[in-house]
Amino acid sequence: MTTDSLLFKVNGEPQAELPLAPRSFTEIQRHRATFRTELGALVVDDCVKVLAEVADETFDLVITSPPYDGQPKYGNGEKYERDWYRDTFLKVSAEIFRTLKPRGSFVLNYRSKRHGDERGTLQYELIFWLREQGFLFCEDFVWGKPSPPPGRFNRFLKDAVEYCFQFAKSPDWQFFPEQCLSRARWDAKDRERRKRLAHNYERVNAPSGQGRKRVQAGPDMVRPSTLLYFEPEFSPNPTRHPARFPIQLPSFFIKLLSRPGQVVFDPFGGTCTTAVAAERLCRRWLVSEIDESYAKILPDRLKEER
């Protein structure tokens, strides 16, 4: 245990010094937050430093979207290149593995950019790198954008797809599809029609001699698929964040992969959309963001519930 200590501010108020040692979620919330609610905490700092302070097996779910390849860093010409992901991002993911609970999941939203005439392959390389760290690659979800931003390319179409890769520490990851059921696409008349179709019957040896048994056409509410249709974030962007995702995206995974009261974490918080979604859904949450100009909007977003 280190003997170093730091002085923190919570909602602008100075807090007592604490030794830098692994802490529970509650300790982080009380003593490390820049802003907090009853459910969660925002820490404005480098996520590597924040994660180093978190105790093992703290988070039930981690959802994040790191900077995309080629995205500018500080407005000085530096960009997030492949070496940053091979070094810094993998340090972050190693800490996520340590701090994730045995049945927890890590959802990574990422899409490699196009470089000249070729689509970048970093999104696929990340999968193999994370598997080498010990993660189980559970599922890949496709986020389809019905109204993608316009683009003008000679031999390419508008980029309307991003990926959300789900990882876990073990095959026994928790899973709650009943928390995100959606209404079936067929209406009442269609259900009655489907019940009369030949393929909705199966032959049986019934005592009545009827010889067949009707099979239900389907329930009114059904599980979602791995194809997610969410519009991009079109709301006003006062912070000028370059890549915001819509609140529906973290909300879907929070409902699918966690229970109310469990802890959700986003290391690259941006404008803190994951925090807003978790607060709405009664999850405890921790969000870190290194750029205060992005994160400062969180109190207003929570007040406006958007």
* 230-260 confidence digits (pLDDT tens): 988 756 666 666 567 899 999 999 999 999 9
Per-residue confidence band for 45, with pLDDT thresholds at 50, 70 and 90: very high
Res 39 pLDDT > 60: yes
Helices (H), ranges, 32-186: 47-52, 82-84, 90-99, 122-132
Element (H, E) at 288: strand 284-289
Contacts of 38 (CB under 8 A, 6+ apart): none
Residue 266, number of CB atoms within 10 A of its CB: 27
272: left (phi > 0), else alpha (psi -120 to 50), else beta? left
Residue 47, number of CB atoms within 10 A of its CB: 24
pTM: 0.82
Q: Report the distance separating Cα 207 and Cα 205, nearest Å.
A: 7
Q: What is the pLDDT of residue 58?
A: 98
Residue 60, number of CB atoms within 10 A of its CB: 22
pLDDT tens, residue by residue, 193-213: 766 666 555 555 555 555 555
Token pair of 87, please? 């070094």
Specify the range with the lowest mean pLDDT, choosing from 176-180, 215-219, 246-250, 265-269: 215-219
Residue positions counted in the chain:
306
Amino acid at 79: K
* Domains of the chain with bracketed CATH: 9-188+199-304 (3.40.50.150)
